[in-house]
Amino acid sequence: MRIGGDLLTEYRLNTPLSHEDVQKLVAGDVVYLSGPVYTARDKAHALIRSKGCPISLQGAALYHCGPLIHKTRVLSAGPTTSGRMARYTEEILGLGVRAIIGKGGLPGGPFRGRAVYLAYPGGCGAAAAQQLKARDVHLKELGMAESLWEFEAKAFGPLIVAIDSHGKDLYQDVRASVQSRLRS
């Protein structure tokens, strides 16, 4: 993707992701994902903690998203604030998830050596809906926004690698620079 004069490194990857896929990604890269992507937010995370996950998340891309869906048509499906799910990060990554997609970021520690955090532009639900098809739904009793939806993604992006598996966290870098500007 070329923005003005700057070229951002771009990857097109298929899910489920391999360890090698994750390792080659560096904070600041742009990714487009194709293949299965699973949604989960507040209630699905709580239920996975208490009762286990109804599907395998090995290598999965997990999307913090509460979509707007009419029957099986995805109408709008941008990211929700990941911070609310921060308390579950360690165990979700422990289930084999290799990419968490959302907005606003998560503490970077749990990602080191095994996973990446990908930022989708917040509020861009209509654009995301053009890249996602609903294939199946789990935990349907939780309602439209909170169910675990299985999407088939086609070039889902631009996803910015905001936290990589090597310890770099763009949100943390920005927070540190904002704090130093506040003091000056």
Partner 1 sequence: MRTLRRAETSLPEWVLQRIREASEQETDPIAKSHLQFILENVLIAKARGLPLCQDTGLPIFRVEMGRDLVLDFNLQEAVAEGVIIATEEIPLRPNAVDPLTRQNSGDNTGPGMPDIILELVEGRGLCITAFPKGAGSENMSLVGMLNPADDPFDFILRAVAERAANACPPLFLGIGLGGTFDLAARLAKHALFNLPGSSPMEMDLLKRINSLGIGPMGLGGDTTALGLKIEQACCHTASLPVAINFQCWAHRCASEVIF
Q: Which of 65, 85, 93, 116 binds partner 1 (CB under 8 A)?
A: 65
**Of the candidates 80, 86, 89, 151, the residue with the CA atom closest to the CA atom of residue 114:** 89
Lookup: tokens for 121: 């532009």
Region binding partner 1 by CB under 8 A among candidate stretches 14-22, 91-99, 106-114, 138-146: 138-146
Lookup: tokens for 38: 């699973």
147 binds partner 1 (CB under 8 A): no
Kindly report the backbone phi and psi dihedral angles of residue 45, in degrees, each rounded to the nearest multiple of 5, phi listed first.
-60, -45
Q: Which of 14, 18, 56, 177 binds partner 1 (CB under 8 A)?
A: 177
Residue of 19, 45, 64, 138 marked catalytic: 45
**Of the candidates 49, 45, 114, 112, the residue with the CA atom closest to the CA atom of residue 84:** 45
- What does the per-residue mask of binding to partner 1 show for 71-110, with x meaning CB under 8 A? ----xxxx-xx-x-------------------xxx-----
CA distance 13 to 28: 16
Is 64 a known active-site residue?
no
137 binds partner 1 (CB under 8 A): no
**Of the candidates 84, 99, 120, the residue with the CA atom closest to the CA atom of residue 165:** 99
CA distance 115 to 136: 25
126 binds partner 1 (CB under 8 A): yes
CA distance 130 to 127: 5
Chain contacts with partner 1 (rule: CB under 8 A): 1, 3-4, 6, 8, 28, 30, 43, 65-68, 70, 75-78, 80-81, 83, 103-105, 119, 121-130, 143-145, 158, 160, 162, 170-171, 173-175, 177-179, 181-182
Q: Which residues are catalytic?
A: 45
